[in-house]
Amino acid sequence: MLWLNLTFHSSETSVRNPRQNRPKMSSAEQSCYTLIHVPTDTEFPSEQQLKEKLEKGDDKARVEALKKLILMCMNGEKVQNLIMFVIRFCLPSNDHTLKKLLLNFWEVVPKTNPQGKLLQEMILVCDAYRKDLQHPNEFVRGSTLRFLCKLKEPELIEPLMPAIRQCLEHRHSYVRRNAVCAIFTIYRNFEFLIPDAPEVVSTFLDAEQDASCKRNAFMMLLHVDQARALDFLSNCIEQVTTFGDILQLIIVELIYKVCHANPMERQRFIRCVYNLLQSSSGAVRYEAAGTLVTLSTVPAAIRAAATTYIELIVKESDNNIKLIVLDRLIHLRQSSTGEKVLQELVMDIMRVLTAPGLEVRKKTLSLALELVSSRNVEDMVMFLKKEIAKSGNENADDASKYRQELVKTLHTATIKFPDVAVSIVPVLMEFLSDESEQVSSYVLQFVREAIHKLPHLRATIISSLLEGLLFIQKPKILIASLWILCTFADTNETILQVLSLVKKSLGELPIVESELRGSEGQENVVPGTEEKKTVRPMVTADGTYATQSAISSSVVKREGESRPPLRRFLLDGEFFIAASLATSLSKLAANHAKLNSQKKKQINLLNGQLIFILSSIVHLGKSGLAKTNMSDDDVDRVMTTIRVLADYGAEMEETMIQKTRASLDMLLSQKGGEMRVGESGERRARDRVQADKTILFTQLAARGDAIGGTENMFDLSLSQALGTANKTAKFDFSSSKLGKVIQLAGFSDPIYAEAYVNVNQYDIVLDVLIVNQTGDTLQNVSLELSTVGDLKLVDKPTPCTLAPADFANIKATVKVASTENGVIFSMISYDVRGAASDRNAVYLQDIRIDIMDYIVPGNATDAEFRKMWSDFEWENKVAVHTSITDLREYIDHLSKVTNMKILTPESALDGSCGFMAANLCAHSIFGEDAIANVSIEKANPLEETSPIHGHIRIRAKSQGMALTLGDKINVAQRERKGPKPVALPPTQEVEEGMEKLAVN
């Protein structure tokens, strides 16, 4: 059994986030202070058994009986007959456990009769708690005061007011601070019971010394009488830094509210906010920094707030706190002034990289990259080089991902600031032989772009590649490095070095003959271990001599382990490398021919060596020595290259060199354009205004104006005269609560019901409206809920009574654990007052939870998408059946209904053709990822109305998300309506009939 007693005052929770706007609480909604988990197999005792335990049992038995009684109250059972037994046998007890349980019991038990009048027994309860308020034990007094904060019956509270006032003078701070909370709640709910509460609490605050008591008193004045709170703050504003952190938080909230309501007060309190930035509490500094930024936009204020945020991120150990504060720091960059200030603090921001969290590091690197300028880029690069060196000592998985982020950051910094590339290239080249293939691929992307866009670095990059080529252990990285070398080798010396490296990487040629000779020479050598036995004397503990024998073994190195890398990959059956190598060598031959156009003999000599290499590889692929034979496609590719080299002509220079580099330039330009669009998409269009736009001074704007004092009257009247004023948008029901109301019962049912489903991250709140459509009074009206899927009902709705034609709101909370489809089944059961029939029931419509509330568009690079595609285990293949006839329109429709972002560039989706392919990505709030590949085509590309065919392949880490997205797509395809019918021209008979009708 899980008991959670939330005994804090509800107003105390609002102080934790004073900036958060909360909706006003309706009259039907009440605060919940006690949550009790009741197992489904719990059996409740009978009324007679409970009476016996309460009357004849000891304190331990009464405690157990009272617990069962509380559970029965929470489940809607009637316990009115047992209230008197509780008063007689439990209230007089001095057992603290029993007294604490009694507070829970009196909170949940119904205290009024069906007519709404207070029960007579509650007078005895009131007298008992008056005595508890005068109890010598401070715990009993304090607990009772906290209990009074939860009472909603003024008849019970009124006799206790003198005792509550006396508790303000108690010797113990626990009693005094709870007395302030009780007075605050009573004054807010029933002001007539204590109309002089602000004056009483103000006097109490002036004389109080305890920090928690002062905090509660100041909080009350903040909410009910700000003038008195300001007077207190003005009198002790110089001592604010010596107060406790809980009081400082309330002071920051007061300053925020007062300065926003009356901007003229800013100069009075802004110095106090500056002083609170030096508080020893991190929470106070965080709130003070946020308040300072909202009160002032001068660079000094923003710099002080940013410095505070950076210190908080560095010093706090909790990664969640780091992420929250980092988001506030990122938010500062949205203004032009904030960006200028943060640009000067880039190196301070880089200190956050010392945090171990990968997500914190990623956000920090992204922010630093956006803020870096030519003045501090060299310092940032030096810092990142040190981080790369330190990342080798961290955990393997996290270190690999962190290195990926560092490499991507250095890559982008090099392209933005080419002057620092000279110092970056040697550092990144060391990662070509990294164990993580993804890190090496990022380095290659950098090398490819740098060698193409920065010609002055070409010699440095080629030299570094030549030095580290033979140490690369990944086949894809090796062949990509060879492609770069062969494409950009622009001197005879470089070309010969590349050819020499290719030969070293392949080993002795021809490959088949050398392998056969090697296997014959190793036939009599058994690979394994060689053992040696050594004997040496040793002295034992008693001084005698003994001999010790040891067998040492040495591993004989196998032949395969000493093979060159490219040869090893080919023998392992990686013959796609052969096709790629053939393409690279053809580019090497084209570069050589361009440099030696007049030396036919040298051209033929080089081409002959390349043909020998490629023919040897083809022979190996067909010999059966490799683990798998060479495929026909790879053979065709290599043989085509051999024929091109044998019949080499001048026209090959244009194909192999010029068109290749033009294609590469187009690819890099496209990626650079996407990056710029992504950055400028949220770039400050708000900071770009017309040169003749009127300057608005908020200090001179009229207060309480109809336009809120935020718009210039001249601009407004001019736009209205020209007809360019913004029109009031029509009310959109789909975005309001009315668009999310689900009808659960019919209009002819005895009880009509409809539900509003409110999704709030991991919670679903069902607000069910029930209406009694009969002429009878319905008692014990209960809403029964049952869930299917990863949904869990938090609490059981409380039964209620409905008069004829009466209505009520019932709320229930459901927890969500994953993005699987969930269904909530429900029914309403009730009794008819005065009827002898059995319990009645109305079965309601099922409520299906839309997973789109938990899915947000995601983003992934091509490499990340391919990695997720290979890692994700679950795939759902959905056939395309739609009335949409335009390929691009269907892709957009699919992205809209699934909340998935289209990763394929716009340029690849533009144009009209008979087929289209696109990649999509989405994330869920539960940390799950989902990706999709759409491949569609028109049945007849020449007809515009031709239907679309194809498939959608969805992959996800969990089975539920893959199936759920597939179901969502199928439902969206079925609900999609076909095109509107085209109106045919009227026939002659129809025209004559219309003319006669017009005449008549």
pLDDT score, position 896 = 87
Strand order in the sheet with 791-793: 741-743, 751-760, 763-772, 807-816, 791-793
Reported as a single tens digit per residue, the pLDDT across 369-386 is 888 888 888 888 888 878
pLDDT score, position 269 = 80
In the chain, the amino acid numbered 203 is T
Enumerate the H helices of 458-555 as residue ranges.
Answer: 458-468, 475-488, 492-506, 511-521
Element at 546 (helix H, strand E) = strand 545-555
Average pLDDT over residues 173-194: 89
pLDDT score, position 955 = 92
Distance (Å, rounded) from C-alpha 305 to C-alpha 827? Answer: 54
β-bridge partners, 752: 771
pLDDT score, position 529 = 43
Angstrom CA distances, 730 to 707, 716, 727, stand at: 19, 21, 9
In the chain, the amino acid numbered 679 is E
Q: Tokens 């952190």 label which residue? A: 245
Q: Which of 161-175, 706-720, 748-762, 858-872 has the highest mean pLDDT?
A: 161-175
Distance (Å, rounded) from C-alpha 562 to C-alpha 469? Answer: 16
Average pLDDT over residues 594-618: 84
> Is the CA virtual torsion 693, 699, 700, 704 positive or negative?
positive
Ramachandran angles phi, psi of 741, nearest 5°: -85, 130
* Number of residues in the chain: 1000
Average pLDDT over residues 88-100: 83
Reported as a single tens digit per residue, the pLDDT across 462-471 is 888 888 777 8
CATH class of 737-848: mainly beta
Reported as a single tens digit per residue, the pLDDT across 559-582 is 445 678 888 888 888 888 888 888
In terms of Cα–Cα distance, which of 205, 292, 214 is closest to 246? 214
Average pLDDT over residues 638-661: 77
Beta carbons of 337 and 318 less than 8 angstroms apart: no
Ramachandran angles phi, psi of 819, nearest 5°: -95, 15
Between 319 and 723, residue with greater pLDDT: 319
Lowest mean pLDDT of 538-552, 638-652, 930-944, name the range: 538-552
Distance (Å, rounded) from C-alpha 221 to C-alpha 225? Answer: 5
pLDDT score, position 548 = 53
Distance (Å, rounded) from C-alpha 965 to C-alpha 967? Answer: 5
Question: pTM value?
Answer: 0.64
Distance (Å, rounded) from C-alpha 615 to C-alpha 619? Answer: 6
**3-class SS of residue 697:** coil
pLDDT score, position 327 = 87
Reported as a single tens digit per residue, the pLDDT across 401-444 is 788 788 888 878 877 887 777 777 777 777 777 777 777 777 78
Q: Tokens 């880029």 label which residue? A: 377
Ramachandran area for residue 116 (φ above 0: left; ψ -120 to 50: alpha; else beta): left
Which residues lie below 8 Å from residue 531, measured CB to CB, with a gap of 6+? 551, 552, 553
Average pLDDT over residues 490-510: 85
CATH code, residues 851-973: 3.30.310.10
pLDDT score, position 862 = 81
* Average pLDDT value for the chain: 77
Helix 437-453 × helix 475-488 angle, to 10°: 10
Reported as a single tens digit per residue, the pLDDT across 679-725 is 444 444 445 556 666 666 655 555 444 334 445 555 566 666 666 65
Distance (Å, rounded) from C-alpha 375 to C-alpha 355? Answer: 25
Distance (Å, rounded) from C-alpha 426 to C-alpha 443? Answer: 11
> Is the CA virtual torsion 876, 879, 882, 888 positive or negative?
positive
Distance (Å, rounded) from C-alpha 696 to C-alpha 712? Answer: 6
Q: Tokens 């692929």 label which residue? A: 621
Beta carbons of 665 and 673 less than 8 angstroms apart: no
**Rounded-to-10 torsion of CA 61, 63, 64, 65:** 80
Beta carbons of 791 and 822 less than 8 angstroms apart: yes
Average pLDDT over residues 86-98: 83
Reported as a single tens digit per residue, the pLDDT across 740-762 is 788 889 888 999 999 988 877 67
Beta carbons of 308 and 316 less than 8 angstroms apart: no
Lowest mean pLDDT of 70-79, 176-185, 726-735, name the range: 726-735
Between 7 and 214, residue with greater pLDDT: 214
pLDDT score, position 770 = 92
Cα atoms in the 13 Å half-sphere on the side-chain side of 943: 7
Distance (Å, rounded) from C-alpha 415 to C-alpha 861? Answer: 18
Q: Is the pLDDT of residue 524 over 70?
A: no
Q: Which of 344-348, 537-541, 554-558, 847-851 has the highest mean pLDDT?
A: 344-348
In terms of Cα–Cα distance, which of 464, 378, 480, 399 is closest to 429? 464
Distance (Å, rounded) from C-alpha 726 to C-alpha 719? Answer: 8
Query: Would you place residue 985 in the very low, low, confident or very high pLDDT band (cuts 50, 70, 90)?
Result: very low
Tokens of 991: 């025209």
Distance (Å, rounded) from C-alpha 524 to C-alpha 367? Answer: 63
In terms of Cα–Cα distance, which of 184, 202, 222 is closest to 9? 184
Reported as a single tens digit per residue, the pLDDT across 905-943 is 887 777 777 888 899 998 887 777 889 999 988 888 778
